Amino acid sequence: MTADATRDAATEPATLYDRVGGMSFFERLVDAFYDGVEADEVLAPLYPEAPDFSGARHRLTLFLGQYWGGPTTYMEERGHPRLRLRHFPFHVGPLERDHWLRHMAAAVESTCSDEHAEVAAELMQYFVPAAEHLRNDTGLPITSSTFHRS
């Protein structure tokens, strides 16, 4: 190990993944989130493998673990996330975004104990703009997902 590597390990702040105790936190978060999604009349029909959500749970868990500094298993299984591209097949308008965020906010709330209060804020600061970024329907009469030239 070089002197530089030793210094980095000592001074670099722990990742959110490490602070919450690793992958089991993301498993609990995603389980709580999908319990809400599965019962959601707007979101559930969008999922290609419904009523089986085990694959979707697995992919989101690995993605979030990787995003917050954990192992890169998502990348190894799925390749580069390219999330906007991967969401194009699904109608993501303001309604879907808000339902998604409501279930995620509830999951964050129930999964983050008081000692992780700052983690809850960090997670939501990511999820809110990310969900808006994935929206592919402006809600306007002419919108990318429904407008076809004749």
CA distance 38 to 52: 9
29 lies in the site for ligand HEM, by CB under 6 A = no
Identified binder of ligand HEM from the candidate list 59, 106, 120, 122, rule CB under 6 A: 59
56 lies in the site for ligand HEM, by CB under 6 A = yes
* Inter-residue contact 61 to 131 (CB < 8 Å): no
CA distance 150 to 129: 34
Identified binder of ligand HEM from the candidate list 39, 75, 83, 140, rule CB under 6 A: 83
Contact string 93-132 vs ligand HEM (x = CB under 6 A): ---xx--x--------------------------x--xx-
* Inter-residue contact 119 to 125 (CB < 8 Å): no
Which residue, 29 or 56, has its beta carbon nearer to ligand HEM? 56
Identified binder of ligand HEM from the candidate list 23, 32, 46, 120, rule CB under 6 A: 46
Identified binder of ligand HEM from the candidate list 4, 41, 49, 114, rule CB under 6 A: 49
**In angstroms, what CA-CA distances link 44 with 37, 62, 107, 134?**
6, 20, 16, 17
- Classify 25 in phi/psi space as left (phi over 0), alpha (psi -120 to 50) or beta: alpha
Residue 125 sits at the vertex; the CA angle it makes with 108 and 142, to the nearest 5 degrees, is: 105
38 lies in the site for ligand HEM, by CB under 6 A = no
The residues that touch ligand HEM, with contacts defined as CB under 6 A, are 43, 46-49, 55-56, 59-60, 63, 78, 83, 86-87, 90, 92, 96-97, 100, 127, 130-131, 134
